Every structure is written in structure tokens, then in C-alpha cells.
Amino acid sequence: MGYADVNGLHMYYEQHGEAGTPLVLLHGGMMTIDLNFAGLIHTLARDHQVIAVELQGHGRTADIDREITPAVLAGDVVALLDHLGVDRAHVLGHSMGAAIALELAVSHPGRVRSAVPISASVRPDGMHEDLMDPSRHATSTRMPSAQDFADMQAAYQRLSPHPEHFTEFLGTLSASNADLKGWSDEQLAGITAPTLLVMGDHDFVTIEHGALMKHLIPGSHLAVLPNTTHMTATRRPELLLPMLAEFLD
């Protein structure tokens, strides 16, 4: 465990395992390393040098007066790799972390061995209509449960340097997500890293959008996990771990 001072950010990170190629784990919005990846890290660390990151305003990493975008957060990841002396790494991200993984593959291709964006979208219109219509949130089974929100709030209040800012930061992050523009066809066509797109069959993102992403990113693979929502997409180790073992390296 440690902190790296990168781009004005005092960023918390963990390293697990000593063998194999580096693998960066990037959590989703309002999540932490443990909330997203507790069921995966132990096994992944057998074959990889796992570097798990808590991004700006998340977990033990304090927020700073700076916008939160995939490009900005990808710059933090690159700076962390520089700090650790890591030239190239596999990058696996969930939701917001998936957007960062895609941004790294687009804008920092020399640093990415492979990309595994989980529950990603590359266009605002890729989101399911349940997410776009607030009147459907209360009844949609795609939405985070009350327990999910309780777990996120408990983790924030336990770990954050500013635990009283949960509601404020949630609003900031929601506004940042609403402004996400995605990437052009040309940018996605320029991705050279091997890419495994993963999504749940009941995710925030539509399966049709998953197929579009597979079409736009050259040579990419698409895995749709059955009986899986957005919040459980990284909590299916029995499905993800065999897939990742085959894909990585």
C-alpha cells in the first residue's frame, strides 16, 4: 500500500503479486478497490503484478479542485506508472474505470499491453433507456440497489479524508458523467491494444451498444455475462477469472 503524488493528487494505490506482467485495476464511480475487485485480486495476483488504484475523490484519495474526466484520470494513471517505473501494463476498468481504460488505449497506446473495459460505453446513446429516464429509476432492476448505495456511502465515510463530502462528491461525479462525450469512430478504430469488452446482460449499457463497440475497435472481443447487472459485473469471478486468464498475455 502507498501513496504517489501525481499531478497535484495524493493518490492511494496497492500492489499485489510479484510475478508476471503488470495489471492495473481501475474502479467505477463512487467505488473503491475492495468494493469492485475484492473477489478478483487474489487470483489475478498469482500471475500478474496487480496495481490497484483509488482515483481522485475516491476511497483514500482526496478530491482536489480539478475536473474529473477520462482524459484527466488517465493522465494520473500514466503518472503513477511513471512513479512505479512501469513501462506498459494491462488495464482493466469498470464503468468510470472502463472509460479511463479506453482513454488510455486511445491516447496513451504505448503504455497499454491490453485493455479490458467492463460495463463501458463510447457514446451517450449507448446507455439503456432505464438510465436515461429518471422516472424509471425506482422500478428498474438495472439500477444500483439501496444496499449498493449504502455500501458506497459506508466505504466513503470510512476511507475518505473528507467523509462529510459524500453527497457533494456524488453530485460532482454525476455531473461529470453526464458530460461524457465518448470517442469518435476514428479514435476507436485507432486502438491497437488487444481489447476485451465485458458487460452484463442487464447492464447500464445495451447489448447492441456492446456489439457496436466490438465493431468499432479492431480485433476486439465481446463477452456478455448472463444474469449480471452493472453493479455485479466485476463480482462474477467464476465467469471473469477463466476469461481473463485466457485473454491476458
pLDDT at 22 over 90: yes
Q: Give the pLDDT mean for 39-58.
A: 97
Confidence label for 80 from pLDDT (cuts 50, 70 and 90): very high
- Closest residue by Cα to residue 180 from 80, 102, 115, 75: 102
CA distance 67 to 172: 9
Q: Give the pLDDT mean for 212-239.
A: 97
Burial class (CB in 10 A: 0-12, 13-18, 19+), 35: buried
Q: Give the pLDDT mean for 217-236.
A: 97
Distances (CA, A) of 132 to 62, 127, 152, 200: 30, 7, 22, 18
Give the pLDDT confidence score for residue 131 in this predicted structure: 74
CA distance 27 to 49: 17
Burial 216-225 (b: 16+ CB within 10 A, else e): bbeebebbeb
Model pTM?
A: 0.96
Q: What share of the chain is helix, strand, coil (3-state, %, to 5)?
A: 45, 20, 35
Give the pLDDT confidence score for residue 45 in this predicted structure: 98
- Closest residue by Cα to residue 23 from 114, 105, 120, 95: 114
CATH superfamily of 2-241: Alpha/Beta hydrolase fold, catalytic domain (3.40.50.1820)
Distances (CA, A) of 189 to 196, 199, 220, 223: 15, 20, 10, 19
pLDDT at 35 over 90: yes
Q: Give the pLDDT mean for 193-222.
A: 97
Average pLDDT, the chain: 94
Q: Give the pLDDT mean for 213-224.
A: 98
Tens digits of residue pLDDT in 150-192? 999 999 999 999 999 999 999 988 887 766 789 999 999 999 9
Sequence spans of domains, the chain: 2-241
Residue with cell 486511445: 106
Contact 50, 248 (CB under 8 A): no
Tens digits of residue pLDDT in 116-153? 999 999 998 888 887 777 778 777 888 888 899 999 99
| Cell numbers found for residue 11 | 493518490
CA distance 144 to 137: 9
Q: Look up residue 249 and give its amino acid.
A: D
